[in-house]
Structure 1
Amino acid sequence: MSVTIKSVHRTFKKSQEEDLIVLDDVNLHIKKEEFITIIGPSGCGKSTLLKIIAGLDRKFHGSILIGGQELTGPGIKQGFIFQEHRLFPWLTVEKNIAADLSLNDSEIRRKVDELIEIVRLKGFEKAYPRELSGGMAQRVAIARALLRNPDVLLLDEPFGALDAFTRTHLQDVLLDIWKKKKTTMILVTHDLDESIYLANRLVIMTPRPGRISQIIEIDMPYPRKKTDVRFQAIRQQVLTEFEKSELIH
């Protein structure tokens, strides 16, 4: 589904006398089945914007439309993946994916088995979180978020704590899921190469208060090579925009 962000403004109470403006007049339209990455300096409101789209933060001005309908709160249309996997340590991989749904239901069982295959965890269905690597645990979290077939998948720096090799592998897993499931994806990241490697469009945000500084079309076919001349040219374009933003703000 498409996502439309209209004039979103969010403040937090810094003190009794002072408000802290985190997001200021953010406007963005994300097309159905598009893969968007959002990048910007720490504290610019990237994660706050993601929570607003998820319906987890309602204390904002403006509006969010999912598939043309105004968002009023959390719902099955949006799946959310946090920076940490948040698995239940007492449940196996398959039960963590099913969460509050019963594996005795043949349709749920089929979906769980399909997702285990998609996130490349076949053979680990009965394993517990303590028996998994960080990358495997994050794949379980992705599968759990996909179980209810969300129209929009929101990812808040899900690979930030992983080593470079595992992170690269999970980027490919995520692209694989996106191609198979046709889910609209919005990924917040601090990793510039990751944002270019994955996105159809890359959204650059300014330092706080967060505004959209620039949107860059990534006109490269998949799979992408990070050593490609076009990849490096886009990388330099983003770095130049960051330098400009720092000077302006």
Structure 2
Amino acid sequence: MSQSRADQLDIRHVSKTFITQKGSVHALDDVSLRVREGEFITLIGPSGCGESTLLKIVAGLDDSYEGDVLLEGRRVAGPGIDKGFVFQEPRLFPWLTVERNIAADLSLRDPGVRKRVDELIELVRLQGFAKAYPRELSGGMAQRVAIARALLRSPKVLLLDEPFGALDAFTRAHMQEVLLDVWQTNRTTMLFVTHDIDEAVFLANRIVIMRPRPGSIRGVIVNDLPYPRKKASSAFQEMRFRVLSEFEKPEEPVAADWAGL
């Protein structure tokens, strides 16, 4: 089955219920979303709305759900090199240098791996730190290593679960610019979970707004602001207000462009 550029990633009627000792928790309810190749999608909603759960399902880290997730026409059946994942914390190996953390299980003696790692170090602006250890890095630098590692095998989609949530405001803003550089260079399809409206507006082509638990998509706002975006601009503030206003009227359908859903 061939997949058009318009729907590289196809999430179809996904629902998820967790069974706990205290009973069942309905985390996701009938989530459907199609993502075009090379898009930058941000998922935003109230805490606990199931965004992280959805990312893990797309990554193949959770297969106990209802519905289907297709990547280029094939059902996601588990983790694979076609999907990269960046967690909320870097999860680096403290005993490995930056370059060896990026190379992961591959050998730097392989010329192809060596070249790719060097390219990624430059892409995420870590020149001069290849031999450094995680303890010698700032939080933002460590997260850049995690992003580079996730890109090592050139995944078709990069999934990012609030990767900048623990950073201070200045580092977070810098990391947003770094990630946009990565995206604009590689055009890797990205799904990015955030609870920060400014971050969602700054990064995304489309902003997916989710309802509280059980999480479901209430609408999608197409963000056509040109890059590079200026957070102080009137256009940016108008888009920010548009997103913010949807959270102030939770029972109203979002004014959205549904192309691609």
TM-score of Structure 1 vs Structure 2, range by shorter chain: over 0.9
Q: How far apart are the structure 1 equivalents of 2:127 and 2:217?
A: 41
Q: Quick one: distance in 2 between partners of 1:15 and 1:144?
A: 36
Does the alignment pair 1:190 with 2:195?
A: yes
Query: Over residues 111-135 of structure 1, what are the superposed CA-to-partner deviations in whole Å (9 max), with x where a residue is unaligned?
Result: 0000000000010010000000000
In 2, distance between residues paired with 1:243 and 1:206? 12
User: In the alignment, which residue of structure 2 is the partner of 1:124?
Assistant: 129
Q: Distance in 2 between matches of 1:234 and 1:19?
A: 37
**Which amino acid in 2 is paired with 1:195?**
A
The match for 2:18 is: 12
For 1:178, the equivalent position in structure 2 comes to 183
Question: Where do residues 43-58 of structure 1 align in structure 2 (5 Å cutoff)?
Answer: 43-58=48-63
Q: How many residue pairs align between the two structures?
A: 247
Q: Could you give the per-residue CA deviations for residues 13-32 of structure 1, whole angstroms, max 9, x where no partner exists?
A: 1446x321110000100000
Match of 2:74 among 44, 69, 72: 69
Partner SS for 1:79: strand
Matches within 5 A, 1:203-242: 203-242=208-247
Q: Secondary structure at the match of 2:43?
A: strand
Q: Which moved more, 1:154-163 or 1:227-236?
A: 227-236
The offset of 1:68, in angstroms, is: 1.6
Is 1:40 the counterpart of 2:40? The answer is no
Counterpart of 1:83 in structure 2 is 88
Aligned partner of residue 113 in structure 1, secondary structure: helix
CA–CA separation in structure 1 for the residues paired with 2:104 and 2:216: 36
Give CA deviations for 1:186-220 in whole Å, capped at 9, x if unaligned. 00001110000000000000010101011000011
Structure 1 equivalent of residue 150 of structure 2: 145
The one-letter amino acid paired with 1:205 is M
Q: Secondary structure at the match of 1:245?
A: coil
- Report % sequence identity: 64
Contact 1:193 1:235 in 2 (8 A): yes
TM-score (norm: length of structure 2)? 0.92
Structure 2 spans left out of the alignment, 5+ residues: 254-261
CA distance in 2, matches of 1:217, 1:240: 15
Deviations 1:32-59 (A, max 9, x none): 0000000000110000000000000111
SS of the residue corresponding to residue 114 of structure 1 reads helix
Tell me, in whole angstroms, the C-alpha distance in 2 between the residues paired with 1:242 and 1:236.
10
Name the CA distance, whole Å, in 2 between partners of 1:100 and 1:77: 16
1:97-136 alignment runs, 5 A limit: 97-136=102-141
Q: Does 1:166 align with 2:166?
A: no
Q: What's the Cα RMSD here?
A: 1.3
Aligned partner of residue 53 in structure 2, secondary structure: helix
Q: Is residue 207–residue 245 contact of structure 1 (8 Å, CA) maintained in 2? A: no
Runs of 4+ in 1 over 6 A off after TM superposition: none
